[in-house]
Chains A and B, each alone.
Chain A
């Protein structure tokens, strides 16, 4: 397990597809496979309120952008995400960050 995690504050995820595409080009992943894929929840009215969320989900192909991180760069999904809603954080900060972000956040530990 890595000491770092991808922290995803997905209330801001706009489904811009940038993480999917940039992960694919960075790792030469073919069009029918994904290093990260955005899941959709909604649009649906729950208890009278609209819910429409997108949640990016890294796959088994995610290598946490090992080459980039070796060079001191952020993973390409983190770097390019239009909503800037993916971050690399140390695993020991997960609880604190999740509390701050509220319900609509998730983490992935590669």
Chain B
């Protein structure tokens, strides 16, 4: 392992670090050296000794200097009179002044409306994932911590389903990430098949999984089964590609289960010893003969059958389930099918299968203690929905759809202040119906944003802008899977200072020490991290910085060893102690204990009256390597590669509507519209179009009404509000109806 700092002969020095954010990314922790010359990062080089990434880096970190020294970056706190929202009338202020304003406003709101009148929103993936809820609970004192995606449709549903049915932390493909020798470790086996279900990890690096590990495994012989409405590049290399109609995942899952059970291809030993409810699951799956499944999903029954056989008869094999499982009101059931498939084929927690972790998460104790900071009775005031017992059982955050309802109706009480924690809320990534959110949030008395660049959200809604530092400018730790099933703990090491910016955690410290000092007793960030990691790793934060990273110990088949349950008994941490193929919890929550298929609420079948008007299916969200959701639009090298928001249309469909390559296309349904540039491609079904998300245009006028063109490619405006599943999870982000029309310009 190389040194933390290396001084070079020419007066430059290199800092070794592992990256999280910003720039936006999931906690992948790629290893790299930042070369510093005259106080500036001038070069980024991958660290070949990093056990996961081996020196590889993606274009976002390779262009880091363009990001951190971008002329548009905000380098000091800014204040603007609330009367001037939407105008570029910001004034630079000091951090002390910013904290004075925060203290005065928060105390005013607490005194007049109660702390619950404050709502804190987070964006996805960045370090904010760890540090926003502590700001809400332990600094601002509000129970309303919110991820503003309808039905919490990102990670939360999958993590909850895994918790309910397996009683275990996030199931992940076994890519030998826990082992220093990686794929050569004698305990490891290469998966024979990997199912990629609604997931294209090469460019999403989901939740800290290093996407190109799939190429490592491909070279070592893993074969692929891809389940995706688009033929992905990996799909062209797969033995089986199941190109399903968007939103029909659970029907497909039941079809796969039906084949494996009816053809007796399941692992009898595992099912008998470790599963609950197999007979009932078998009966339910039998209700989904492949003719019916083909009709629902559009996947030929022969392909379903062949893929099910290949998967079930090749041991070990693995499944990666993607965001597409969450972005559906029927997603809880789809996730149920995925876990049942993994369980009955004996692939849970075995080498080359799916790794599991203990239900407790890294830094979980601290986050739990932050919730304890709320005064008695305050958590009960959290905006939630009593109907959503499943959501309430799994989550300690506010329900996003109910937050919008509350903003609009002021019931059960008015909200007065919002904090946007690394969240460009209106920029077509998370929030559905972004214009509704915008109008409702505009009425609040005081809004704060912490981010790197001026965004449409900050320009349109906020009064105070707190500038965040990039990962090159702060110390921190990287926790893949946000602390659950975390193969390594890595350190981010500060290399430079740019402007007067602070990390997310440093902002928590500043605000926390002002508003609620007893919850923030640590002197320094380093002390804080030492307190977090020492009990589990036995080292201090400075020691971790010297080491760069520490891979965690791992045991396979934890359920046999009493390592999954809190009571130390064998089995899984569920009410029955077994994998619950039939949930023993769901009935109490008003949900079917077995998986079932339900038609998406905005499909041509559910809304036959709109079938002629909106004959196509709109899906979206496929990732590109040049941006993290709504970020990176202003980075020259990256924008040159991806200049426009692209909508992929099958050539036959395009011809039918008179659309040619490069035309501007208006994608529209009864709820909203977006304009994107046509790319004709056979990778989508002729009945489906695929749009890209997260577009706004930093080069356009930022002031109102344009707001950097944020309403132009507003794909999220086509997604309904509050069409969630029975437990409160999921929303149809990737499966709504639409029509397409050629228009003259992006403004069209």
Residues of A within 8 A of B (CB): 11-12, 14-18, 20-22, 24-25, 31, 42-45, 50-52, 76, 79-85
Contacts and interface: CB of A to CB of B under 8 A. Distances in A.
B670 interface: no
Nearest to B237: A11
A79 B55 contact: yes
Contact of B215 (A43, A76, A84): A84
A12 B682 contact: no
A54 to B, nearest CB: 8
A82 B201 CA distance: 12
A56 B211 CA distance: 20
**Most chain A CB within a 10 A radius of its CB, from B231, B236, B681:** B236
Contacts of B235: 50
Nearest to A26: B43
Contact of A17 (B55, B211, B641): B641
A95 B261 CA distance: 49
21 contacts: A12-B215, A12-B218, A15-B233, A16-B59, A17-B641, A18-B57, A18-B58, A18-B62, A21-B637, A22-B57, A24-B637, A25-B43, A31-B637, A31-B640, A42-B236, A43-B681, A80-B57, A82-B58, A82-B202, A82-B212, A84-B56
- Closest 8 CB pairs between A and B? A50-B236, A82-B212, A52-B236, A21-B59, A83-B215, A31-B640, A82-B56, A17-B59
Given A12-B219, A14-B212, A18-B57, A79 B236 contact: no
B384 interface: no
A62 B674 CA distance: 41
Contacts of B202: 14, 16, 82
Given A18-B62, A52-B233, A79-B45, 14 more contacts: A14-B233, A16-B59, A16-B203, A22-B62, A25-B63, A31-B636, A42-B236, A43-B681, A44-B682, A50-B235, A50-B236, A80-B56, A81-B56, A85-B215
Contacts of A79: 45-46, 48, 55
A50 B683 CA distance: 10
B35 to A, nearest CB: 12
A101 to B, nearest CB: 11
Contacts of B683: 43
Nearest to B48: A79
B303 interface: no
A43 B682 contact: yes
A50 B59 contact: no
Interface string B43-70: 1011010000011111100110000000
Contacts of A51: 236
A12 B58 CA distance: 16
B70 to A, nearest CB: 15
Nearest to B57: A80
Contacts of B211: 82
B429 to A, nearest CB: 22
B231 A25 contact: no
B56 to A, nearest CB: 5
Nearest to A9: B219
Given A12-B218, A16-B59, A84-B54, A43 B640 contact: no
A83 B63 CA distance: 19
A27 to B, nearest CB: 12
A74 to B, nearest CB: 9
- Among B48, B62, B637, chain A packs the most CB atoms within 10 A around the CB of B62
A43 B233 CA distance: 8
A20 B62 CA distance: 11
Contacts of B626: 17
Residue picked from B57, B202, B218, most chain A C-beta under 10 Å: B57
A105 B386 CA distance: 59
Contacts of B219: 12
B625 interface: yes
Contacts of A80: 46, 55-57, 62
Contact of B625 (A11, A17, A85): A17
Contacts of A14: 202, 212, 215, 233
Contacts of A11: 237
Nearest to B203: A16
Contacts of B681: 43
Contacts of B203: 16
A17 B218 CA distance: 20
A65 to B, nearest CB: 12
A21 B215 contact: no
Nearest to B241: A50
B165 to A, nearest CB: 33
Contacts of A16: 58-59, 202-203, 212, 625
A43 B63 CA distance: 29
A39 to B, nearest CB: 14
A13 B63 CA distance: 20
Contacts of A50: 231, 235-236
A84 B202 CA distance: 13
Contacts of A81: 56
A22 B57 CA distance: 9
A43 B55 CA distance: 30
A21 to B, nearest CB: 5
